[in-house]
Structure 1
Amino acid sequence: METKKSKTYRFSPELIERIQLLADHEDLNETVIVTALIEAGLDCLEKEATLSHSSLLTRIRGDFAAVEQRYTAINEKIAFLEQRIASLSAEIEELKKRKR
């Protein structure tokens, strides 16, 4: 049975500083702290999504480069085979001329 790993999010120094600044004010309450934590969670998710998107783009670019290299190699092989066919055709024609 596969267990899903939970992610651990660390609070950024900016968030900790923001909460400390809020704590210095008398009107600090649970709502303010919860709001700050929710914002931090959303920031973490946004950063994670950006990283995932970035790594996905990198992988796609790598896959595209590999396909492009393969396409180039195939075209080079086709060009080689076309030259070989032309060379063999010329040899066949030469042999036909000699036979006559």
Structure 2
Amino acid sequence: MLSITVSSVGNENTYITLILRHLGTKFEVVTELTIYCPHTGRYEVEETGREIADDEDEAIEAATDLEWAAKSKLKVLDVTDSWKEPGGFPETLERVFQISTSHAIAAE
């Protein structure tokens, strides 16, 4: 199953990543919380959200909801000074879909 890391929000030690997977004609968007412990050099990773979308528009809507949930989770973890790399979940996912569409058209 092909998966693409789309975007992350958080700081250098605590962040939530949006991952896109293609499930045939559907899309799965998943968020994972990663916490890096500098003293031990270990990463703790846990899934924080999962949505199945029938099309690209639904996937972008799900990414919007997952970003709001991610911001709430980070706030609970006292991560208030955060960044988005390369951008917000829905905006970056929309760019991923645009790139994949332009590649499909170019291949024809």
Provide the TM-score with structure 2 as the length reference. Answer: 0.31
Greater helix fraction, Structure 1 or Structure 2: 1
Higher relative contact order (CA closer than 8 Å, sequence separation 6+): 2
More strand by share: 2
State the TM-score, normalized to the length of structure 1.
0.32
